[in-house]
């Protein structure tokens, strides 16, 4: 099967199905097409609700991979962006930072993420991170950061890369919400390049 977004799978799959399997698989593809259309309808409804009642979600949807559901869940979960003095605090609030257990004078090695906070939003952010890192994600600071971590020869490097992107994404979304800025996917990369050229 060729790589394709989930929303177009039912259109691309039939040409790759052997004739002998068509009677068994065509009803499945019809169900997938029906569910895909229903998901699109719900997405359109979420976007309409967001525009009418939560216009700040438009700021968050600038980031590729952040859809209407993720943006709306982020806004409804955090409620007031000014309750966080620093955008970096949002990652910890959502349980996307390593849990640590301090004892005596020594700090043990980093453990798994704490998974505190809203589980649904955390899963949506990780899902967005997978899209950013996946075959359809475009070049961005977030993608480069995740790829750098995923390329390490550490245990679960790809999973760690996705979680790291989700954490950075939560910080970025909060920053966009507070500042109202236009999102620049390669802001950090361009800034570093400018510094190197000036040096």
Three-state secondary structure call for residue 24: helix
Q: Does 64 share its domain with 142?
A: yes
Do 188 and 100 fall within a single domain? Answer: yes
Residue 107: its pLDDT value, please?
46
**Distances from the Cα of 134 to the Cα of 8, 64, 150, angstroms:** 16, 12, 12
Say yes or no: 23 and 71 in one domain: no
If asked whether residues 184 and 104 sit together in one domain, one would say: yes
Is residue 133 within 8 A of residue 161, CB to CB? The reply is: yes
User: How many independent structural domains does the chain possess?
Assistant: 2
Q: What is the pTM for the complete model shown?
A: 0.81
The pLDDT tens digits of the residues spanning 36-64 come to: 999 999 999 999 999 999 999 999 999 99
Band of residue 108 on the pLDDT scale cut at 50, 70, 90:
very low
* One domain for residues 139 and 61: yes
> d(Cα 55, Cα 125) in Å, to the nearest integer?
20
121 and 187 share a domain?
yes
Which of residues 13, 37, 53 is at a domain's end?
53
- The C-alpha atoms of residue 78 and residue 75 are separated, in whole angstroms, by 5
35 or 97, greater pLDDT: 35
pLDDT value at position 116?
80
Q: Is the pLDDT of residue 113 over 80?
A: no
What is the spatial distance between Cα 90 and Cα 149, in angstroms, rounded to a whole number? 21
- Is the domain of 128 the same as that of 167? yes
Same-domain pairing of 101 and 21: no
Q: Name the residue range of residue 126's domain.
A: 54-198
Same domain? 19 vs 70: no
Q: Given this model, what pLDDT does residue 1 score?
A: 67
């Amino acid at each position: 099967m060729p790589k394709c977004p989930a929303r177009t799978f039912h259109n691309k799959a039939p040409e790759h199905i052997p004739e002998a399997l068509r009677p068994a698989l065509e009803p499945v593809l019809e169900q997938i097409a029906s569910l895909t259309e229903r998901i699109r309808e719900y997405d359109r409804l979420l976007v309409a609700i967001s525009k009418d009642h939560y216009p700040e979600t438009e700021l968050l949807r600038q980031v590729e991979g952040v859809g209407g559901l993720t943006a709306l869940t982020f806004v409804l979960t955090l409620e007031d962006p000014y309750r966080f003095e620093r955008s970096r605090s949002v990652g910890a609030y959502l349980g996307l930072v390593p849990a640590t257990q301090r004892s005596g004078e020594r700090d043990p090695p980093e453990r798994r993420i704490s998974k505190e906070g809203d589980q649904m939003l955390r899963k949506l952010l990780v899902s967005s991170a997978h899209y950013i890192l996946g075959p359809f994600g475009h070049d961005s600071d977030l993608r480069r950061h995740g790829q750098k971590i995923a390329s390490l020869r550490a245990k679960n490097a790809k999973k760690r890369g996705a979680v790291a992107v989700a954490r950075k994404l939560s910080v970025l979304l909060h920053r966009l919400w507070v500042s109202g800025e236009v999102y620049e996917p390669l802001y950090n990369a361009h800034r570093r390049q400018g510094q190197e050229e000036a040096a």
